[in-house]
Amino acid sequence: MAYITNRSGRHEIWVRGMKSGLERPLVTQREFTSTAGVPRFMGVVYSPDGQRIAFAVILGATSIWIAPAGGGTPVRAAPQDAEAPAWSPDGRWLACILLDQGQHHLAVIPAGGNQTATLVPRAPRCDAPPVWSPDGKRIACETESDIQLASPDGSEVRRLPRLGSPALAWSPDGALLYGVAVENGRSVLKSVEVRTGAVRRIADYCTEFRVGTPFSHSMILSLARDKRSFAATTLTFKSDLWLLEGFPQPRPWGRLW
């Protein structure tokens, strides 16, 4: 599993062996020296063959990069302002969200590095990271009103009911899309059937399990291959109450009329 952590005080991408439990840094800020500030990472995803990772870097603008999963120098995927990468099943393409004329639209990039991202014709504005179907024929993207399934060339676009999730995940057979919505302070796992558009409510979780990330377009919903569990990022809000002593008391208000 690849994930983003600030355990060292700065954003880094680490990998964890799910069987061994061993962890190590994979991408650090040493590879991104710039006068634009301190880089932050988001939306890290493994390629289908497990040999590469794609991720977004916030450093002035937001860009997508590709790095070897075994370690090595990252390569910028495209020169444009883009985020939320998603691999095609054959590993040859990345779907992403491209900032174009102030709007976030679905686009595709050849995964060779330093390629130009191309907008998907007829595709809508994306409000959540896109996800590529297992057969490579459709890209799902949630909007403010629905889920749209677009072919990579934009020749076909279908609409499904919205799940209200910050991220989507395909079932391995491509029959379902999963999402986790937040309703009344609780996370709710849902699915929508691609063929019929039928929405099913699968599970309600405790209030402590609230999916989300501090950045937009950065949520990843990763379904296990056995379809029995998924990995997601959760937000935990904490606050402290402090008592300040020895500070001058505020003057009382006088009459205002």
- The gap from C-alpha 226 to its chain's centroid, in whole angstroms, comes to 22
User: Is the alpha carbon torsion for 161, 93, 77, 24 positive or negative?
Assistant: positive
**pLDDT reading at 220 higher than 60:** yes
The pLDDT assigned to 83 comes to 92
The pLDDT assigned to 144 comes to 86
What's the predicted TM-score (pTM) here? 0.85
Pairing assessment for the beta strands 61-68 and 52-59 based on DSSP bridges: antiparallel
**pLDDT reading at 34 higher than 80:** no
Angstrom CA distances, 125 to 13, 41, 98, 103, stand at 28, 23, 9, 7
Mean of the per-residue pLDDT values for the chain? 88
Write out pLDDT tens, residues 87-111.
Answer: 999 999 999 999 877 788 899 999 9
Planar angle of CA 35, 37, 39, nearest 5 degrees? 120
First to last CA, the chain: 65
The pLDDT assigned to 133 comes to 96
Q: Which two tokens stand for residue 46?
A: 């493994």
**pLDDT reading at 255 higher than 60:** no
Could you tell me the pLDDT band of residue 250, with boundaries at 50, 70 and 90? confident
- Check residues 17 and 206 and name the one with the higher pLDDT: 17
Write out pLDDT tens, residues 56-92.
Answer: 998 888 899 999 999 889 999 988 899 999 999 999 9
Mean predicted confidence (pLDDT) in 135-141: 95
The SS3 assignment for 30 reads helix
User: If you count them, how many residues does the chain have?
Assistant: 257
Residues ≥6 apart with Cβ < 8 Å to 205? 186, 187, 188, 189
Write out pLDDT tens, residues 167-207.
Answer: 999 999 999 999 998 888 888 999 999 999 999 999 998 87
Could you tell me the pLDDT band of residue 38, with boundaries at 50, 70 and 90? confident
- Which domains does the chain carry? 1-119 (2.120.10.30), 121-236 (2.120.10.30)
The pLDDT assigned to 36 comes to 66
Residues ≥6 apart with Cβ < 8 Å to 101? none
Q: Which two tokens stand for residue 33?
A: 């020296």
Write out pLDDT tens, residues 239-249.
Answer: 888 888 888 77
φ and ψ of 72, to 5 deg: 150, 180
**pLDDT reading at 124 higher than 70:** no
